[in-house]
Amino acid sequence: MDIIGEINEKGVVEQRFDLKVESEVVPGILWRPADKLEGIPTILIGHGGTQHKRVENVLGLARRFVRHLGFAAVAIDAPGHGDRITDPDAAAKARSRLERQIAAGPTGRPFEIPESEMGAWAERTRRGRDEWKALLDDLPSVGLTGPYGYWGVSMGTAIGLPFVASEPRISAAVLGLAGLNNRIGGEGFEATARKLQIPILFIYQWDDELMNRESGLALFDAIGSKEKTMHINPGGHVATPLFERDDYDLFFSRHLK
């Protein structure tokens, strides 16, 4: 990874970098404490659909992991997101479709991806997973040798669940806002969930406009890990209470320190 810029804000060093994967350039950000780097855990943060590596929620979490836990955090733009948008009209259309579905309120039906887009979704998941793996290969070169955790909900789980299930270097993961019985996770999502063995904190919204209750409970149930906890709160897809962040701290402290 090539560090291409650095700022320091209230003790949090923020470094922009480019990572080459399969001849594509993946732009990312690394947050770390100003004083200590050696031996600190790193949390990989996967953003949601239509978001990017420095969206408010990702930035808030990253700074918090550095300030509260003394960890490092890293985020990259998912394929087709953030600085990697090649078709702005299509990206705007996808965002507006998502916003309309959220505005329409819970339907009781899980979110369905049009059949015509399934190929692109599957390719994005595969590519996203491989990019995280490439990043893990590179993190020791900047002094971050693990342990590693993963945080990602919604699309961050669609990509992140297959990633962490196939990645022995990840020790614990926060997943959520995703379910079975829909196409978000793509083919084999349930079978992949059953392979998980690391501790999982699975967050879910009881009135999610893009999911339904059954599909979230079914995904939690399928997760193969011996230690797994589901946190359910009322409200919609983008209304996870901020106090859950205290639980991410507790969870990662318990498993990565």
Gap between the Cα atoms of 212 and 210, Å rounded: 7
Binding mask 189-218 for its own copies (x = CB under 8 A): -----------------x------x---x-
238 binds its own copies (CB under 8 A): no
Q: Does 239 help bind its own copies (rule: CB under 8 A)?
A: no
Q: Which stretch binds its own copies (CB under 8 A): 31-39, 82-90, 178-186, 220-228?
A: 220-228
Under rule CB under 8 A, residue 246 binds its own copies? yes
**What count of other Cβ atoms lies within 10 Å of the Cβ of residue 109?**
12
The minimum distance between CB 231 and its own copies, in angstroms, equals 6
Site string for its own copies, 51-70 (x = CB under 8 A): --------------------
Q: How far is the CB of 229 from its own copies (least distance, A)?
A: 5
- Closest to its own copies by CB, 88 vs 234, is 234
Among 134, 228, 236, 238, binds its own copies (CB under 8 A): 228
State the residue for tokens 């507790």: 250
User: What's the CA gap between 229 and 173, in Å, rounded?
Assistant: 11
Rounded least distance, CB 58 to its own copies, Å: 23
Q: What is the 3-state secondary structure (H, E, C) of 79-115?
A: CCCHHHCCCHHHHHHHHHHHHHHHHCCCCCCCCCCCH
Q: Which is nearer to its own copies, 96 or 229 (CB)?
A: 229
Choice from 37, 85, 134, 232 touching its own copies (CB under 8 A): 232
* Binding range to its own copies, per CB under 8 A, among 10-18, 78-86, 88-96, 225-233: 225-233
CA distance 173 to 198: 7
Q: How far is the CB of 250 from its own copies (least distance, A)?
A: 5
Gyration radius of the chain over CA positions = 17
CB of 246 to its own copies, least distance (A): 5
254 binds its own copies (CB under 8 A): yes
Cα–Cα distance between 213 and 78 in angstroms, integer? 27
Contacts of 175 (CB under 8 A, 6+ apart): 152, 153, 156, 157, 160, 161, 164, 200, 201, 202, 203
Beta bridge partners of 200: 173, 228
Which among 80, 72, 32, 73 is positioned nearest to 52, based on CA atoms? 80
Spatial contact of 158 and 242, defined as CB atoms under 8 Å apart:
no
**Which residues in this chain contact its own copies in the complex, by CB under 8 A?**
206, 213, 217, 220-221, 226-234, 241, 243, 246-247, 250, 254
